[in-house]
Amino acid sequence: MKAGLFILMFLGIASQAVADPEADRVAFEKFYKERLPGIEIAAHKDGAYALDAAKREQWLEIEDFPPYEIAVDEGESLFSVAFANGKSYTDCFANGGMGIKQTYPYFDLDRGEVITLELAINNCRDANDEAQLDYMGEEMGNISAYMAFTSRGNKFDIKVPEEAVEAYEQGKRFYYERRGQLDFACSSCHMDIVGGLLRAEILSASIGHATHWPTYRFKWEQIGGIQRRFLQCNEQVGAESLAQQSKAYRNLEYFLTYMNNGMELNGPASRR
């Protein structure tokens, strides 16, 4: 056998061996356990508030009168309004859309792409001849907040079928790839210096990054999805901002949420 061919075959086998999402997740969990031994993995669903007692105190006081409560209420009304054709959101989702967020994002085998909850909401509108909602807008935030609320306490159960490995791997690469003027990857901040400070902000663990969306941020003065946060983290390092629900961000969300498999959903939440 020619050496070149042998090497190609070897690489083929090696890259197949690399795509093992469950092994990735176990290693991810182990990393944070060793890095922050005093913190239970489950506690990371509260992000930076799992890492600092004083900030947690302040946050718990805020959560007594949660700023996302109105969003959940309005989301419930919006969700129940019928489309012009008489159908409604309940017709588009399993279990009428209630308590299902733990399965999003998922890889749609027919479409060959990752479908996030927000994209599914807009796909539902498309299918019923309704105009798409703005991904940064209040209506999308409210509807997804209501759907998240009905999924509280459920545990992430993300699947990566064979056909989805490429999308998963792309998301994983995005997470570990350095970019922007700072030349930082997601992992540079949320793994390498997790628990450390960046401009008075404590850096949260990526295990727990997916549990609590959408989130009311005081900085935004509204509720927003996880991809809006991706946008800001990218901007912080001086990297190009990608569009909400672009393929790259959906694949990233897919990878990140898989890393949160087994964790409890506690969205919506509030953050500074």
Residues 6+ away with beta carbon under 8 Å from 185: 175, 176, 177, 178, 179
Does residue 233 contact residue 184 with C-beta atoms inside 8 Å?
Answer: no
For residue 151, which of 68, 72, 265 has the smallest C-alpha distance?
A: 265
Min CB(103)–ligand HEC separation in Å: 19
Nearer to ligand HEC, 150 or 270 (CB): 270
Nearer to ligand HEC, 98 or 242 (CB): 242
Does residue 202 contact residue 52 with C-beta atoms inside 8 Å?
Answer: yes
Where along the sequence are the contacts to ligand HEC (CB under 6 A)? 47-48, 184, 186, 188-190, 198, 201, 203-204, 209, 215, 226, 229-230, 233-234, 236-237, 252, 256, 271
Active site residues: 233
Nearer to ligand HEC, 89 or 116 (CB): 116
Min CB(209)–ligand HEC separation in Å: 4
Does residue 214 contact residue 268 with C-beta atoms inside 8 Å?
Answer: yes
Residue nearest to ligand HEC (CB): 47
Does residue 225 contact residue 135 with C-beta atoms inside 8 Å?
Answer: yes
Does residue 199 contact residue 233 with C-beta atoms inside 8 Å?
Answer: no
**Calpha distance 195→148 (Å, rounded):** 27
Min CB(232)–ligand HEC separation in Å: 8
Nearer to ligand HEC, 145 or 189 (CB): 189
Q: What residue has token string 């967020």?
A: 101
Min CB(204)–ligand HEC separation in Å: 3
